[in-house]
Amino acid sequence: MQLDIQALYFDMTPGIRAAITRAAAQHLDRFGDSVRKLTVRVYDTNGTRGGVDKGCRIHSDLGRARALVVEAVDADLYTAIHRAFEKAERAASGRLSRQRRPTNHRLRTTIRRNAEPVIAQPLG
């Protein structure tokens, strides 16, 4: 599994990198081998102009379940990171459970083919 962390429009501090790494480790503990690549981008929404809004965008490659992209914006970068990983966990959980859910198509077809009306036999 690959983990790619980048900061846009500000410098990456060791504290920010540690928070992202911790959250990513928890995410990967839950989903294990289902996640092939996790890309985390933290950014300042106002760019070089400054301002209070910071964001975190997570792109998760789930293999056959396709890619998943979630984003959270908050005045506090650590809160944005936390919220983005919460969203990613909910979305990945739903997507992977739908992927693993067995389909009843074959069962329904078999029932339809074999289900012929039962004719009641008269007693006596």
Q: Cβ neighbours of residue 21 under 8 Å, at least 6 residues apart?
A: 3, 5
Q: pLDDT tens digit string along 65-83?
A: 678 899 999 989 999 999 9
For residue 87, CA distances in Å to 11, 19, 84, 95 come to 25, 16, 5, 12
Homologous superfamily of 2-112 in CATH? Ribosome hibernation promotion factor-like (3.30.160.100)
Q: pLDDT tens digit string along 17-54?
A: 999 999 999 888 887 777 888 999 999 887 767 667 89
pTM: 0.72
